[in-house]
Amino acid sequence: VVYLVVFHLSFFMFVWSYWKTIFTSPASPTKEFCLSKADKEQYEKEERPESQQEILRRAAKDLPIYTTTASRAIRYCDRCQLIKPDRCHHCSACDICVLKMDHHCPWVNNCVGFSNYKFFLLFLMYSLLYCLFVAATVLQYFIKFWTNELPDTHAKFHVLFLFFVAAMFFISILSLFSYHCWLVGKNRSTIETFRAPTFRNGPDKNGFSLGCSKNLREVFGDEKKYWLIPIFTSLGDGCNFPTRLVIMDPEQLTVSSQNEPAKSSGASQPFPTRPLSESQNRLLTSDCQWVESGSEEENVKSGSQNRSISPVPC
């Protein structure tokens, strides 16, 4: 009885998670990130990149965006004709901009992003448990096969095939699931692992990391009883993300940006400095303020010019 209950439960959760991963549409940016009709017409008429960037900077001044391109330009999608929110990327397969895009998965024929990343993780976890369960139940017959204790029937080849398939899928999915667990702990996407987001102080792979506990809550939500159920509980709206690099007083950002020497013409461009409010993400409701500590040891380890951020006790 226990065997049947565990088997059916694991299979049901596996199918449910897989279904949600496939049929959950990727979340796209809201209308506030689209250019107005006048700005769009003016943008299309301009031929100089500098003039186009000026139009984008005016449109983005009130938007909660904190990342730019590597050349310090506003991230804009010519295909979708909108300013890209932080962590948003255009998927060539889906032909849309996907919020917090992780990757386009051919196994589910869908983009994995903000709207279905939790479902994708649960799909990996339950498929991993399902393969482990199948391999464990067939193991005793597999051992009998090698010790010649299994009756000489056609079923023994089925047992051999089933064990090897379950074991190989278990090993493959385990590596993928472990990698994504590491990404959740660091609050990174697959894209951000290979190309770090660029903030005011430069590229920083850990720019969105708030600590392992808060990173986990950002994906799975506040209530732990819903973590293992494939229902949407992720925090935020996919357009605004709390980051340790900008959770500070706007005046501090303005002063520091004015004192920071311009390394190029792009570096001196105005940068959106509107901080996230507590109402936009519950992860900020109990946070302390963050200030720059200027630790040189982390700079050496990270190999970047970003200054480290440390919390001030409340």
Please tell me which residue, 176 or 283, carries the higher pLDDT value: 176
Residue 232 lies in a domain: yes
Span 196-211, mean pLDDT? 91
DSSP state of 277: P
- Within 10 Å of residue 85's Cβ, how many Cβ atoms? 26
pLDDT > 90 in the chain, percent: 57
Instruction: Give residue 266's pLDDT.
Output: 35
Residue 228 lies in a domain: yes
154-173 residue pLDDT tens: 667 777 888 889 999 999 99
Residue 272 lies in a domain: no
Measure the CA–CA gap between 23 and 4, rounded to whole angstroms.
Answer: 28
Span 56-83, mean pLDDT? 92
Looking at the predicted structure, is the pLDDT value of residue 251 above 60? no
Residue 193: exposure state from Cβ atoms within 10 A (0-12, 13-18, ≥19): middle
Helix, strand, coil abundance in the chain, percent, nearest 5: 45, 10, 45
Residue 216 lies in a domain: yes
Residue 94 lies in a domain: no
Instruction: Give residue 112's pLDDT.
Output: 96
Residue 82 lies in a domain: no
- Within 10 Å of residue 72's Cβ, how many Cβ atoms? 19
Beta bridge partners of 290: 311
Measure the CA–CA gap between 239 and 86, rounded to whole angstroms.
Answer: 7
Give the number of domains in the chain. 1
Instruction: Give residue 159's pLDDT.
Output: 79
Looking at the predicted structure, is the pLDDT value of residue 302 above 80? no
Span 227-252, mean pLDDT? 78
- Rounded to the nearest integer, the mean pLDDT of the chain is 79
Under the banding of pLDDT at 50, 70 and 90, the label for residue 136 is: confident
Q: Which CB contacts under 8 angstroms, 24+ apart, belong to 202-205?
A: 202/304, 202/305, 202/306, 203/70, 203/304, 203/306, 204/245, 204/302, 204/304, 204/306, 205/302
Instruction: Give residue 307's pLDDT.
Output: 36
Span 278-288, mean pLDDT? 42
Span 46-62, mean pLDDT? 91
Catalytically annotated residues:
105
For residues 110 and 116, is the Cβ–Cβ distance under 8 A?
A: yes
Instruction: Give residue 282's pLDDT.
Output: 45
What is the CA angle 78-79-84, rounded to 5?
Answer: 65
- Domain extent for 16: 1-27+112-247
Tokens linked to 278: 């507590």
Residue with tokens 């943008």: 43
Instruction: Give residue 6's pLDDT.
Output: 76
Residue 203 lies in a domain: yes
Residue 206 lies in a domain: yes
Does pTM top 0.75 for this prediction? yes
Looking at the predicted structure, is the pLDDT value of residue 259 above 70? no
For residues 81 and 40, is the Cβ–Cβ distance under 8 A?
A: yes
Under the banding of pLDDT at 50, 70 and 90, the label for residue 305 is: very low
